[in-house]
Amino acid sequence: MSYYVYIIASRKDGAIYIGVTNDIVRRVYEHRIKAVPGFTSRYNITRLVWFEIYDDPISAISREKELKKWKRSWKTQLIETQNPQWEDLYDSICN
């Protein structure tokens, strides 16, 4: 089973959220339909802009916690290294 650390955003340079899941398609879909009230639904954070894949949950959770401590500029640089236009990657993972 794979585990994913992901970043979703409201727009380029907008509000971001970092999470971890074992089913990225389902989890991003839940964010998109605002299935769970909270930060992401309040700020319309639905665009998958970055993710990494891990083989075990401990590594994924450790990475998520590490990223949450990063400065905003470091997170932006991480996203823009792989996705300079902050395009929504959701459709690419659904295929």
Q: With respect to residue 48, please indicate whether it lies within any of the assigned structural domains.
A: yes
Q: With respect to residue 9, please indicate whether it lies within any of the assigned structural domains.
A: yes
**Number of folded domains that form the chain:** 1
Q: With respect to residue 65, please indicate whether it lies within any of the assigned structural domains.
A: yes
Q: With respect to residue 95, please indicate whether it lies within any of the assigned structural domains.
A: no
CATH number of the domain to which 21 belongs: 3.40.1440.10
CB 31 within 8 A of CB 45: yes
> Tell me: the pLDDT tens digits for 39-60?
999 999 999 999 999 999 999 9
% residues pLDDT > 90 (the chain): 97
> Tell me: the pLDDT tens digits for 15-28?
999 999 999 999 99
Please tell me the pTM assigned to this model: 0.96
Nearest to 15 by CA among 93, 81, 75: 75
